Amino acid sequence: MFTDLPYTTYITVLLLAFLSVFSTLLGVALAIYVVKSEQAIALGIGFSAGIMLLVSFFELVPEAVGDAGMGLALVAVVLGMLIVAALHWIIPHTHLVDEKGSFRPNLLRTAYLVAFGLILHDVPEGFAMANSYIASPSLGILMAIAIAIHNVPEEFAMAVPIVAVKKRRFLYTAAFLSGLAEPVGAIIGLVAVHFHPALNSFFMAFAAGAMIFVSIHELLPMARRYHKIHLFVLGSVISVFVYMLLTAVVPG
């Protein structure tokens, strides 16, 4: 079963997806030119995780449930969490704390490990944005803006370790490539719906599960490392107000 999406949908989705490239580079630039601050990192990750959890639970999952039913949506959410969790375990990468994959991570440079981690995050975000737009253009725009805002503090925190070892050129290259991961995810989501329209709801719920996992996976290691729970909470509270503002500004 095929469906022909208007060419304007493809163009708009790709333009929205490229917001992630700019917000990713902005986060990296802040890491390079702003003095490292543990308080800023803790606050930013609290905000980043909060905004992703909000759009996942209050936008993506309800939309998927409304289109496909509770059973399929729940399966897709769980599958998204499990697959991203498996990728985090299989592929060696480094984020805010050292992590180990099933391969020996000491065989790779830290910069490459960070790049792997960034790309793991961004592909499901492309699914979320593209398939949300297909379901509802206003929802897609909301997702694109929320993801772009979320990328700034997240990429800032991820970039700090590489900035410390003065690998700026590679960092910009890795950030650009990770930013492109969202347009790639968006293209995959569009192509999947072209071949099977019913996959749209599945991809939305899958993306929600992936982003829920990533949010929790980043929040807990940060809490253990910096012991600044109050700043995580403050960042999360700020994310609620930003989410409410976005839902008020973007027409339903």
Give the pLDDT band (50/70/90) at residue 78: very high
The whole-number average pLDDT for the span 26-51 is 79
10 Å CB burial of residue 5 (0-12, 13-18, 19+) is: middle
Secondary structure string (H, E, C) spanning 61-112:
HHHHHHHHCHHHHHHHHHHHHHHHHHHHHHCCCECCCECCCCCCHHHCCHHH
Report the residue count for the chain. 252
Give the pLDDT band (50/70/90) at residue 35: low
Q: Which residues make beta-bridge pairs with 98?
A: 94
Is the pLDDT at 110 greater than 50? The verdict is: no
User: Which residue is it, tokens 């609620």?
Assistant: 240
Q: Of all residues in the chain, what percent are helix, strand and coil, respectively (each to 5)?
A: 85, 0, 15
The whole-number average pLDDT for the span 73-91 is 86
